[in-house]
Structure 1
Amino acid sequence: DALEDLRGRLPERFALWHPLSQAQYLETALLLPHYILSAQGDRVAMAHAVEGRFPFLDHRVVEFASRLPPRKKLRSLAEKAILRRSLGRFLPERVVKRAKQPYRAPDSQCFFRPSPAYVEELLGPEGVAQTGWFEVQAVSRLVRKCRLGNTPLGFRDNMALVGMLSVQLLERLFCRNAPNP
């Protein structure tokens, strides 16, 4: 059981920690090394001969931050409160006060300006019908909406299109064209 395996790897007094400390520990132990640094940081940078510098991962910064009480780290759900307070005098006020802007992977628009041939092959009615994973009409409506681009697409539509395109591509690469044993 995956949950039991995780519980077995947690520090002894983990259940007594503040919820913010628990969340930070889990993200640091599980997400940071195996996903964030690997897929979005170090591995990607090194693949292009770039040596990344991650100042907030300096052991002294991490040790200092781990000693701060949770109430100092998060004020009224204002993210990055410590950075905003300590470095605010060096930045324009509009930067200090703006909401956090998360990184977003390329969304559906990058597949339609211009549209590569493989997108039409995979998401066109024939390609969708051939795999049978999705409803042809639903995919056609979403593709049309994305292609027109007159209305801003929401997170759900963007992720749906990228997800469908990924499934269609994986189907072609690993199922349809896979050699039969």
Structure 2
Amino acid sequence: MTHSVGMAGRPKNDTSRGFIGCMMVFLDERPTICFGAQKRPSGETHYTYILLFAPDAPKAEIFGFGKGNVITEAPDHANIAWKYEMGNFVIDMAYAYKSDKNTLELTSEKLTINGEEYATETPPVFLVGTDGKLKRVFTKAKTVGPELDIGRTQNPTALLQTIEELKKDSQEIAAFLTKK
């Protein structure tokens, strides 16, 4: 099961643009991965952030929708905010971007997680423990699959490739995702 907030984009060889503010993937009612992605007319799709949840994360009780979310979007800007409540922890997130009105090329992006702002040029990767605490992990892994199409969530190949690349690049991520 997946939940998403935001507008889906197009394949990287398309000249259109789009974004996914939040895509949360669940397995057996437990969050496994959450990510955002951005596609500009002249660029590849890239992740804006990645959250990897502990394999024994609490089941999702409430997933943000209707809990104070803000969504405003137009071709040249977007501003979204959402909240996750899982077990006894909350993750507050917000993402905004602006682009040139004529070319729609990105001019600014802002990602905020639990009140802290993060750059999105190299997408921040976080491990989310069972207590809801986030730990940022720095990685040089290639975090965009060549065929990633953020508009086709039924094909998880690129997402699975990204997870495998992250595990190969970081022993910490590999250990975190395999612990039981």
- Common fold by TM > 0.5: no
- Please identify which structure carries the higher strand content: 2
What TM-score do you get using the length of structure 1 for normalisation? 0.21
- Please identify which structure carries the higher helix content: 1
The structure, 1 or 2, with the larger RCO (C-alpha pairs under 8 Å, 6+ apart) is 2
What TM-score do you get using the length of structure 2 for normalisation? 0.21
